[in-house]
A and B are shown apart, each in its own frame.
Chain A
Amino acid sequence: MKGTLAGVLARPWIWSFIGALAVWLAAITFTGGTGAGGMLTAALSLAVFTVVVGVGQMFVITLGPGNVDLSLPANIGLASAVAMTVMAGDDQRIAFGLLAALACGAAIGTANYLLIWALRIPPIIATLSASFVIQSIDISYGRGLQIKPPPGFADFTNIQLFGIPLLAVLTVLFMIGAHVMLQRTIFGRSVLAIGQNMRAARLAGIAVNRVRFATYVLCGTLGGINGALLAGYFRGANVDIGNEYLLASIAVVVIGGTSVAGGKANIPGLFGAALFLVLLLTMLNTFGVSAGVRLLLTGLIIVAVITAAGGTKRER
């Protein structure tokens, strides 16, 4: 049994769950045990959104150093506006709205990769330039947009089964799917191979450009669906709805044990890291600290966790 325990502890992802548990315990100790379950339910609901974009960001980061999608916040904002416009508050049109959000995200992913490929610039700059343009489109298209989500869709994002949000259950299924895709399909193995050594991957006959293209489209699409879900959950689209997901998506990937140098991804840890981040914010809220202190502590804790989790060992 001892060997099993050590084996579990040696897995990097276990630490993000331990961190989440510790934060939750700290929060309920403070409240004296009241609201412990409610806190978990709320955390699970909010963690869903971080996980969805986190998985997309993880695939992109796994492609290797320099690969990161900075256009996610703008993407989420635009997709939320598009989804709400297409749904137009009508239950009959939910499917169209979701499809529109997916298409919007996929189009942004395509545009991102076109810039990377055609201009041969680092993805950070490409996605940054794209996000400038997307943000403006969103501001001029989505400002003053006051369309409520269809009641059916808003309810769907808030359904709970025995205190567990339905979206969280679906997200666990989604993560299992993503895990299988990463570890057991040609696409996932190609992403890992490219992250480990792009040149070797190309020489081994992997269609590097096609796989990178698909990865950016995947990330964009997940951003799009996240925008639609967020608009449903928060009852309306908003230009700033995706702002916090830039830090969140990158932070959960790193805290969850995925290598920033690429080639090594970790799906279970991502979920733990998302719970950790959300519970951290909940804890600071229960402590009743001011907005400034909350920002300050969030930043400090993230820097501390990253430092403790450590970077990869220096190669060569």
Chain B
Amino acid sequence: MASLSVPDRRGLPLIGAPNVPRLLRALLPALSLALVLIGIAWLNPRAISYFGFTLMLNLAVPIALATIAQMFVIAGNDLDLSIGAFVGFVGCVTATWLRDVPLLGIVTLLGCIAVYAALGALIHLRNLPSIVVTLGMSFVWQGLAVLMLPKPGGKAPDWLLEIMRLKPPLVPFPILAAVVIAAVAYVGLMRTSYGAILRGSGGNALAISRAGWSLLKAKMTLFACAGLFGVLSGLALIGTTTSADANIGNGYTMLSIAGVILGGGEFIGGRVSPIGAVIGALTLALAASPLLTFMRIPPDWQVAANGAILIVVLAARVLISRKDAQP
């Protein structure tokens, strides 16, 4: 029935007969970002400027980094429910030790990445559900953050403030940063041979292990990458807010998961898209506050806006996939 409209699916899509649903699906994250931007431009044309974007996307950089961290974990069929608390802890380290005793700060942050790699090893070796382990770890990070900074305070290191205050010509800094983040993650995960192995460990672990690759090493690498991007997210966050608070990253767990899914990532099977994830994070960052502010909707509904966007995009995806007539 469907074979009439669908081109030969065994080979590559033929030139001149592109797979329209698949193309649409890939463009969906960009389309939703465009829609949000059009909404903002319509409500407040002045926001679409160098200065406007710098302001509106201020907090998008740490969200994008946390989303990429989550994406690495999701690529291996796991879920990290501790990334928000982790970003908060990194923030507390950044605003205290990294400024006062840089060496101690750097060692602590590197140690955090090692802890993430160890978590990956633990989850793989004992075959534990990542949801429970990371939920437990979220308490650990939160506890450490509270111990470190019982009251909001601290101050970002000067070099970090300098970086986050960069004013590059023509393109606002957050957009430039987002492009760089997306490019690095894309090349690393989608264009290197080991990146393919990493995604394969989520897609078909058995095949990867039969082919002689170590699943343990793959899981540890994925989690270490998540830890690295989590650290970067905490740094960027403190560079923007200039001081820290133990609860500063709490919303990031849910935002990062939503960003990955919004960007076209699948929850199972190692199907993720780094560029899509960054676009998803930008969409959430823009839709959550600037768009609502311009629409005069009270901040109470910000979280709901994120949920609604997620549901609408997923619904659109289902509509497109139905046309794809997948078996």
Contact = CB atoms under 8 A, between A and B. Distances in A.
Nearest to B321: A120
A316 B122 CA distance: 20
B325 interface: no
Contact of A132 (B122, B141, B150, B307): B307
Contact of A66 (B258, B267, B307): B267
A307 B318 contact: no
Nearest to B206: A316
A94 interface: no
Interface residues on A, range: 35 or more
B200 to A, nearest CB: 17
B139 A302 contact: yes
B144 A292 contact: yes
Contacts of A133: 303-304, 307-308, 311
Interface stretch (B26-34, B170-178, B182-190, B294-302): B294-302
Contact of B147 (A118, A121, A135, A290): A290
Interface in B185-201: none
A143 interface: yes
Interface in A257-306: 260, 290-300, 302-303, 306
Contacts of B129: 254, 260, 306, 311
Contacts of A119: 311, 314-315, 317-318
B307 A129 contact: yes
A303 B315 contact: no
B132 A250 contact: yes
Contacts of A122: 267-268
B137 interface: yes
A247 interface: yes
A140 B135 contact: no
B310 A132 contact: yes
A37 interface: no
Contacts of A293: 143, 147
B136 A128 contact: no
A118 B322 CA distance: 12
A299 B300 contact: no
B301 A140 contact: yes
B229 to A, nearest CB: 20
B310 A129 contact: yes
Contact of B301 (A136, A247, A254): A136
B214 to A, nearest CB: 15
A143 B301 CA distance: 13
Given A136-B307, A296-B139, A125 B261 contact: yes
Given A247-B139, A297-B143, A299-B139, A139 B128 contact: no
The A interface is mostly helix, strand or loop, or mixed, namely helix
Interface string B59-87: 00000000000000000000100000000
A303 B140 contact: yes
Given A68-B131, A306-B136, A307-B122, A296 B143 contact: yes
B142 interface: yes
Given A299-B140, A312-B127, A251 B304 contact: no
A131 interface: yes
Contact of A120 (B148, B261, B304, B318): B318
A114 to B, nearest CB: 10
A9 interface: no
B291 to A, nearest CB: 15
Contacts of A68: 131
B326 to A, nearest CB: 11
A313 interface: yes
A307 B127 CA distance: 9
A246 interface: yes
A299 B258 CA distance: 24
B9 interface: no
B238 to A, nearest CB: 19
B128 A307 contact: yes
Contact of B257 (A125, A246, A291): A125
A100 B268 CA distance: 37
Contacts of A139: 300, 303
Interface in B205-243: 206
Contact of A118 (B137, B141, B318): B318
B54 interface: no
Q: Which residue, of B126, B139, B254, has the highest number of chain A Cβ atoms within 10 A?
A: B139
A302 B135 CA distance: 9
Contacts of A120: 318
Nearest to A246: B135
A134 B215 CA distance: 39
B308 A247 contact: no
Contacts of A115: 311
B143 A295 contact: yes
A129 B133 contact: no
Interface of A: 66, 68, 115, 118-122, 124-125, 128-133, 135-137, 139-140, 143, 246-247, 250-251, 254, 260, 290-300, 302-303, 306-307, 310-314, 316
Task: Give 5 nearest A-B pairs by CB, closest first.
Answer: A132-B307, A299-B139, A296-B143, A136-B304, A295-B143
10 contacts: A68-B131, A124-B79, A125-B257, A125-B267, A247-B136, A292-B147, A293-B143, A303-B136, A306-B129, A306-B132
Given A120-B318, A129-B311, A311-B129, 8 more contacts: A66-B268, A132-B308, A133-B304, A251-B135, A292-B143, A296-B139, A296-B140, A300-B140
Interface of B: 79, 122, 126-129, 131-133, 135-148, 150, 206, 254, 257-258, 261, 267-268, 298, 300-308, 310-311, 314-315, 317-318
